[in-house]
Chain A
Amino acid sequence: MNGMQKWFGRGWLSAGYLFLYLPIAALVIYSFNDSPVPNIWRGFTLHWYAQLADDHELLAGFWLSLKIAFFTACGSVVLGTLAAFALVKYKRFFGRTLFTGMVSAPLVMPEVIIGLSLLLTLVSVQRLIGVPERGMLTIWLGHMLLGMAYATVVIQARLQDLNPQLEEAAMDLGARPAQVFMLVTLPMIAQSLLSAWLLTFTLSLDDVVVSAFLSGPGATTMPQVIFSRARLGLSPSINAVATLIVLFVAVGVAFASLLIARRERQRQREMAEAYRS
């Protein structure tokens, strides 16, 4: 690249990142703003954070969201691993095209359609047999559809990069398929399982549309509470929640990438030693 192109590139990237991060910075800064009008700076305060502790609606929503996100992440990783395995290891099976389509469709499908179709089905089932009542379980079902799609993509990418010879070698040495999976494959894809878990956890924690369709009277998730307040107007307490989430995610991602980098280094060291001996 010549000089001018280089500067143009740097400028474009900087402007792009500024665009992506400016809103987040604004949320954080204004969460410390001592003014009931959220957009005029009047001085520093922690008032809005203190207020969160008494916000029972938000806290209840937070715990519900946390529970749903946890179960969504676990379920998505299990089903996503199976789906990714099926797609990578078994080239031919009945209805593979349909399966591939169904796995990736929730990635793009508008959430209103996923929410509506699942809601109408669950209501029909409920009329027939009386269960399930709308609530945590039904929200979880909806989140699982989205979560599984993302988990499959992440795990599939890793599985495709694996060297099949390692598994074949284990098989030659007499390992049963289950042992091969537990002792060889699983450690090698562990990193992608962790990122899939974290990704589906945050997706579930953030989802508002699917939850809105599938929640019942007693089950309101945190994003639903935030959404209904945000529709009414600006509120400093939402900025405080946002800042806590940003902080939480930043720490989580930093921790995860450190962990992944360390594991990766260790793995490469072990590989190098294995080849040398």
Chain B
Amino acid sequence: MKLATRLQALAHAATRGRSAVIGAPYLWLLTFFLLPFLVVMKISVSEMEAVHFKDLITFKDGSLQFAIQLRNYLFIAEDDLYFKTYLASLKYAGVATLLCLVIGYPFAYFMARARATLQPALLMLVMLPFWTSLLLRVYAWKGLLSEHGWAHQLITGLGLDHLLAALGIIQTPGLLLHTPFSLVLGMVYTYLPFMVLPLYANLAKMDLRLLEAAADLGATAWVAFWKVTVPLSKAGIIAGSMLVFIPCVGELVVPELLGGPQTLMIGRVMWDEMFSNNDWPMASAVAVVMVLLIIVPLALFSKYQAEAQEARR
């Protein structure tokens, strides 16, 4: 009884306390999100001694000794493989983002301009694949693109594989799987909803009277689209592009299932350093460089996220 009342008082204090409401998630994120990044940064400049790390700072002979190793970073800078892999990751992520935008913008646009009664259903249909397993949907493309798969038959039937081969996207006509083509297709497929949803949210709340005003002032539909609709949806374009680009850079599942020997990406390199070579400092350095590469897009994303929140109020 006494315990129950005490617990009740505690619960009261906790729900009332502003510091508890902020503090609990804050502390959690500091411990499990920020601290791990600092640990990775520390390990990336450590030396691996058998299985233990040397301490960065040691007290020896009456003086502090710093043992910061930039060896890993120098190796990344000098080694051709790392450079090429980072470049390839950025390239594939960039191409996938661009394709998502080209496919997703009209998609979101027509969704937002569809009949109001129809919109919740259309939105649900975009969300639904997100609820089913991503891994399994990527796996499905493996079947669709393999020799007897539907997509394979459609593409080769139309002779498109020769076009892809001529463009250098695949090497041999008729072999679609484990090429840059299948890799980019898989990433576009996986991340398309991440592009469509923020764009839709943005386009749906646009004031249509602005388009009427543009028309009254003599703009054709195209001009009004380019000069009014597109600039107004800038925040949606940036948010969507970041939501696609950043995870694509470090993608592991799609390259493993649909990529090939030509399409080594940085996520895989990090994985190998960690689990095949057991070189933790090297894996950490690869991760730190990856974060540095995405920190600008990440900051952009946060900025527009914050602006979108302000706009809601």
Contacts and interface: CB of A to CB of B under 8 A. Distances in A.
A199 B132 CA distance: 10
Contacts of B192: 16, 19-20
Interface string A110-139: 111100111111001001000000000000
Secondary structure type dominating chain A contacts? helix
B107 interface: yes
B36 A120 contact: yes
B165 interface: no
A24 B122 contact: no
Contact of B189 (A19, A85, A111, A252): A19
B16 A234 contact: no
B142 A230 contact: yes
Contact of B257 (A26, A118, A119, A231): A231
Interface stretch (A46-54, A166-174, A201-209, A269-277): A201-209
A268 interface: no
Contacts of A12: 106-107, 110
Interface residues of B, number: 90
A36 to B, nearest CB: 13
Interface stretch (B18-26, B65-73, B156-164): B18-26
A116 B36 CA distance: 9
B280 A120 contact: yes
Most chain A CB atoms below 10 A, which of B28, B33, B39, B284: B33
A40 B148 contact: yes
B113 interface: yes
A35 to B, nearest CB: 10
B210 interface: no
B250 A113 contact: yes
Contacts of B52: 127
A175 B113 CA distance: 44
A109 B246 contact: yes
A249 B132 contact: yes
B111 interface: yes
A48 B259 CA distance: 27
B23 to A, nearest CB: 9
A106 B250 contact: no
Contact of A39 (B146, B271, B291): B146
B242 interface: yes
Secondary structure type dominating chain B contacts? helix
Interface string A166-195: 000000000011100100000000000000
A38 B142 CA distance: 11
Contact of B21 (A9, A86, A116): A86
A3 interface: no
Interface residues of A, number: 89
B76 interface: no
B247 A111 contact: yes
A118 B36 CA distance: 5
A26 B143 contact: yes
Nearest to B305: A104
Given A9-B113, A13-B122, A39-B149, A21 B270 contact: no
B258 to A, nearest CB: 10
A82 B21 contact: yes
A23 B189 contact: yes
A22 B150 contact: yes
Interface stretch (B77-85, B167-175, B226-234, B294-302): B294-302
A71 B73 CA distance: 39
Interface string A76-91: 0001101101100110
Interface in B262-307: 267, 270-271, 274, 280, 283-284, 287, 290-291, 294, 298, 301-302, 305-306
A107 B274 contact: no
A90 B113 CA distance: 36
Interface of A: 1-2, 5, 9-10, 12-13, 16-17, 19-24, 26-27, 30, 37-40, 79-80, 82-83, 85-86, 89-90, 93, 95, 99-113, 116-121, 124, 127, 141, 144-145, 148, 152, 160, 176-178, 181, 198-199, 202, 205-206, 208-209, 223, 226-227, 230-231, 234, 238-239, 241-242, 245-246, 249-250, 252-253, 257
Given A9-B106, A176-B16, A208-B253, 19 more contacts: A13-B114, A16-B107, A20-B192, A39-B149, A82-B22, A110-B251, A112-B252, A112-B271, A113-B287, A116-B287, A117-B37, A120-B36, A120-B43, A124-B39, A160-B313, A202-B132, A223-B133, A230-B142, A238-B136
**Top 7 A-B pairs ranked by shortest CB distance?**
A110-B250, A23-B140, A117-B36, A9-B110, A83-B25, A39-B148, A121-B36
7 contacts: A24-B137, A27-B143, A99-B29, A100-B306, A108-B242, A127-B52, A144-B28
